[in-house]
Amino acid sequence: RKEVEQDPGPFNVPEGATVAFNCTYSNSASQSFFWYRQDCRKEPKLLMSVYSSGNEDGRFTAQLNRASQYISLLIRDSKLSDSATYLCVVNTGGFKTIFGAGTRLFVKA
C-alpha cells in the first residue's frame, strides 16, 4: 500500500461546479499536511496547508480527518484556471515528506 494515495482522476467538471478530492495516508504518526498545485510541465506550488480544525482560503477548503486518516480539498465555483494536478503532501516526521501522485482536474467552459 502506498503511504499517500490519491484518486488520479481526471475529474472533468464544468465551470462553476464544486469538486472535492480526497487523499488517504497510512502513517498514523503523520504530523503535517499540505495541498500543492502543479500545472502541466511546471513545478509544484503550495496551495494551502491543512490544519486540524480545517481551513479555508477563498474558494478552497481543506479538511483533515485523523481518525480515518484522510485529508480533503473542496473547490467551489470552479474556474478554468483551476485546471491542474493537485498533490496531497504528508509529513511523517523529520524530513520525511511524502507526495501523492496527484489528482488531475479539468474545468471546462
By the criterion CB under 8 A, which residues form the site for another protein?
4, 8, 31-32, 34, 42-46, 49, 87, 91, 94-102
Which residue, 70, 90, 81, is CA-closest to 21? 70
Provide, rounded to whole angstroms, the least separation between the CB of residue 70 and another protein: 16
Cell of 57: 482560503
Range 77-93 burial, b when 16+ CB lie within 10 A, else e: ebeeebbbbbbbbbebe
For another protein, the closer CB: 60 or 99: 99
Instruction: State the minimum distance, in angstroms, from the CB of residue 29 to another protein.
Output: 14
Comparison of 19 and 86: residue with beta carbon closer to another protein: 86
Nearest CB to another protein, comparing residues 79 and 96: 96
Count of residues making up the chain: 109
